[in-house]
Structures are given as structure tokens and as C-alpha cells.
Amino acid sequence: MPGAQSIARAAQLLRLVTSAGADGMTVADLSKRADLTRPTAHRLLSALRHEGLVDQDEKTGRWMPGPELYLMGTVAASRYDITSIARDIVRSLAVRTEESAFLSVRRGDETVCLLREEGSFPIRSFVLSEGVRFPLGVASAGLAILAFLPPHDVDTYFERHPGLSREWGAAHGEARLRTRLRETTERGYAVNPGLIVEGSYGIGAAVFTREGHPQWALSLTGVEFRFGPDRLPELGRTLLAHAHQLTTRIAATR
């Protein structure tokens, strides 16, 4: 369709801008990550700013979400947002484990963090925060969701993303990822043993729609020694119990 490519490029820039949060992102970084020339990225960003969808800091020149995104988000939240019914569960998970707890949602081939609750343990991992996106299969939340998708969907995901190992390291090659997917389905929850940031561990459990589709995930992150073999099974059981509680609550309210 005429104009579809421009819309897709603009949408990609919007996702990148929102993933950067309040700090924003430079046009150089945006153009590189979107695989666009700098003039093209700047032209699209200027058009989005004219519509109020992005804004630019006058001092730093960094691009950040605009006011229209907030207004659109408040309308869409009534249909898509589950944070209001999940917040106490995520908080309970953080209190019970003393680790940082998260709720993420699947958006296409990515997960987006919606909620973060800090645990009481003083040493924390800061790999994940609200708005941060990862491809499915990279962070523990996305690995948990991918593991419980139908096999055909998993196969087509790998066909669409043959370069995961180039961007995220050899541990994210298809063969090794498929091994972790099998381990996840057998265990019930995913484990990320410091594959994004060395020494920062994460575990994730899928949360399902009423129809049984893995649409969200709860996860925990922390430093390596807090996720050792003596404690990991206990953390996994607690995580799965909270994920089941949220799945049950979603089914009752949607």
C-alpha cells in the first residue's frame, strides 16, 4: 500500500523513543537502531513532533514521547492495560522473594515491561524497567512466553529473526534457544543465567489469556548468588504461584 512503509518506519521510531523513557534518544541512535539514514529519521521525527507524538528537548536535542501519546494511552489502557489488577500481585512477588519483580506484555515479537516493583534486598539488577523492550526469547519473560506458543508460531518466529545471535550473542542462536525453550516447558518457568548482563539472573513465568494464550509474563531479576541451585526451585514455585493467580484473575475479569 502507498505510504505503508513510511507508517511502519514512523511506528518503529515511536517504539524506540518510548523504550528510551524519560531520558530520550538522539537522532543518531534512533536512525542506527531503526536502520534508517539520519535525514530520513529526522524527517519522520519532525512529522511526528508536529502531531504531538514525540517531543525534542531543546537543550540536549534528544527525542522523547510526546503529549499525544499520553492521551492515546489513557484511552487504550481501558482495553489493554492489566496493571490495575496485577499491581498487588507483582508487589506480593517482590515482598515474598525480596527480589525485583516485573510484569511484561507481549507485543508482536517483543516483550515490553509494564510494571516494576523493587524487592528489599539491597543489591539489585537494573536490566529491566518500565517501557524496556526485548525480543521474545532474550529476557526471561520473553523466553517464558515463547516457550508456550504453538510450535508453528515458534518456528515462524525463528524464521523472522535469524540474526538473534549476532545481536545478542551466541547463546541466543536458534539451537541453544530451542534447548532453553524445552527446559522452560519442562520446568514451568524460564531461567536467564546472566545472558544479557553478566551476573544478573532472571526467571520468568507466562501468564495466559482466558483462551490459554501466553500474553504476559511475571519475572524476577537479581544478582547471581541469589539465584543459586539451593534457592532457585523455591523462587520458581513462588513465581509460578503468582503467575497462576494473575492468570485466574484475568480470566475472571475479561
Q: Give the pLDDT confidence of 211-236 residue by residue, as tens digits.
A: 999 999 999 999 889 999 999 999 99
Residue 3 has pLDDT above 80, yes or no: no
Copy the grid coordinates of residue 173.
542462536
pLDDT at 78 over 60: no
Distance CA 220, CA 126 (A): 11
Which CATH number is associated with domain 81-253?
Answer: 3.30.450.40
pLDDT of 22 higher than 90: no
Cβ atoms of 236 and 203 closer than 8 Å = yes
**Mean pLDDT score of the chain:** 89
For 7, list phi and psi in degrees, rounded to 5: -65, -45
Which of 79-88, 167-176, 178-187 comes out lowest in average pLDDT?
A: 79-88
Alpha carbons 57 and 79: distance in angstroms, whole number: 31
Question: Going edge to edge, which strands form the sheet with 214-223?
Answer: 133-135, 110-117, 100-107, 214-223, 200-208, 190-193
Q: Tell me the pTM.
A: 0.74
Question: pLDDT exceeding 90 applies to what percent of the chain?
Answer: 62
Question: What does the alpha-carbon distance between residue 52 and residue 151 come to, in Å, rounded to a whole number?
Answer: 41
**Distance set, CA 52 to CA 64, 126, 209, 248, 252 (Å):** 11, 30, 33, 38, 37
pLDDT recorded at residue 215: 94
pLDDT of residue 185: 96
Q: Where in the chain is the domain with CATH 3.30.450.40?
A: 81-253
Q: Closest by alpha carbon to 115, among 134, 129, 100?
A: 129
Question: What integer pLDDT is reported at residue 61 of this predicted model?
Answer: 92
Give alpha helix (H) positions in 103-150.
140-147
CATH 1.10.10.10 spans which residues of the chain?
4-72
What's residue 1's pLDDT? 57
pLDDT-derived band at 76, boundaries 50, 70, 90: low
Which three-class secondary structure state does DSSP give residue 167? helix
Residue among 246, 82, 215 nearest 146 (CA): 215
- Residue-wise pLDDT for 150-173, tens only, equals 999 999 999 999 989 988 988 999
CB proximity list for 51: less than 8 A, separation 6 or greater = 66, 68
Residues 144, 5: Cα–Cα separation, whole Å: 32
Which burial class, exposed, middle or buried, applies to 105 when counting CB atoms under 10 A from its CB (0-12, 13-18, 19+)?
buried
pLDDT of residue 167: 87
Arch. (CATH architecture) of 4-72: Orthogonal Bundle (1.10)
